[in-house]
Amino acid sequence: MITESMAVFGLGRWGLTLAQALLDAGLPLVAVSSKRPRAKQELPDRLWPLWTGDTQRLVERARWIFLTVRDDAIELTARRLASLRTDWTGYTFVHSSGAHGRELLEALHRRGAQTGVFHPLNAFPDPLRHPTKVTGTPFGIIADADLQSDLFELAEKLGGRPFAIPAALRSAYHLVAVLVANAPLVLISLGRELLRRSGLEPDVRWEYYAVLLQSALSHATDPEPILYLTGPWTRRDRTTVRQHRDALQGLYPEAVPLYEQLVALAQSLYLAATGQPMGGEI
């Protein structure tokens, strides 16, 4: 039940965000902790009184423990915690990785704890300087029925939107999340670098291109965003596409294969969406 005492172990980007969101929502967060004692110095004032450097005390205080450590440290942390007691009945342990299931918490589950996954489908890159709001975050959840309904309630209490991740499709779920969260940033960074390398900057400012990005984003929730492509890719304009390839070859040759693959991908996604080829072959 989400009225039970809670603790956050792992005070990185998501751990800090979650701890503060729990407090904001009036939930009973009683302790925060981290492997690194120095993490205490970086805590926001309101979390200071909740700090404990002693894992034993953490588990004495709380019944719900969020393991918000790095993905590759979840299993080891769970095993270390599991070894503190022979019986974890009455405890709930939750991790927040979208890439892994409950198996990482098996050592605790075997000793009686309830376990689950509570994955925020959002990015929290810098909670101290540029905090991202948790409100509106979709939460992907994997848990047995009882805990699933508690985690749904928790997500709603945080102002989020809960949904169940089909456990067998977890890899595809996480693939889409990582692709959508990161690929646009790679393309944006490439665009900025091309502007610098070409010498267009400072006369042509990056902000001008941001208008195009906003237009693309405005179609993100359309059922078929590929229909909103514009420009030479959609017009059979081989000459312009060749000019782009040549310019890219001079400015950032490593990106030429990516450009060619994007053109090909645009074609195949368009075909899949409409059953028609997009402007023929380029």
Ligand X SMILES: NC(=O)c1ccc[n+]([C@@H]2O[C@H](COP(=O)([O-])OP(=O)(O)OC[C@H]3O[C@@H](n4cnc5c(N)ncnc54)[C@H](OP(=O)(O)O)[C@@H]3O)[C@@H](O)[C@H]2O)c1
**What residues line the site for ligand X (CB under 6 A)?**
10-15, 34-36, 39, 68-71, 73, 77, 95-98, 119-120, 123-124
Nearer to ligand X by Cβ, of 72 and 201: the residue is 72
Closest CA to 9 of 31, 41, 37: 31
Residue length of the chain: 282
- Strand pairing partners for 8? 32, 66
Least Å distance between CB 260 and ligand X?
A: 32
Least Å distance between CB 80 and ligand X?
A: 8
Cβ–Cβ under 8 Å, residues 224 and 266:
no
Would strands 6-9 and 138-143 be described as parallel, antiparallel, or unpaired? Answer: unpaired
Nearer to ligand X by Cβ, of 42 and 281: the residue is 42
Q: How far is it, in rounded angstroms, from Cα 17 to Cα 12?
A: 8
Cβ–Cβ under 8 Å, residues 146 and 140:
no
| Residue carrying structure tokens 């900057």 | 201
Least Å distance between CB 122 and ligand X?
A: 6
Nearer to ligand X by Cβ, of 36 and 205: the residue is 36
The enclosing H or E element of 277 equals none
Closest CA to 57 of 77, 23, 33, 91: 33
Least Å distance between CB 173 and ligand X?
A: 12
| Angle (CA) 105 110 113, round 5° | 70
Nearer to ligand X by Cβ, of 23 and 123: the residue is 123
Nearer to ligand X by Cβ, of 109 and 119: the residue is 119
Least Å distance between CB 121 and ligand X?
A: 7
Nearer to ligand X by Cβ, of 35 and 161: the residue is 35
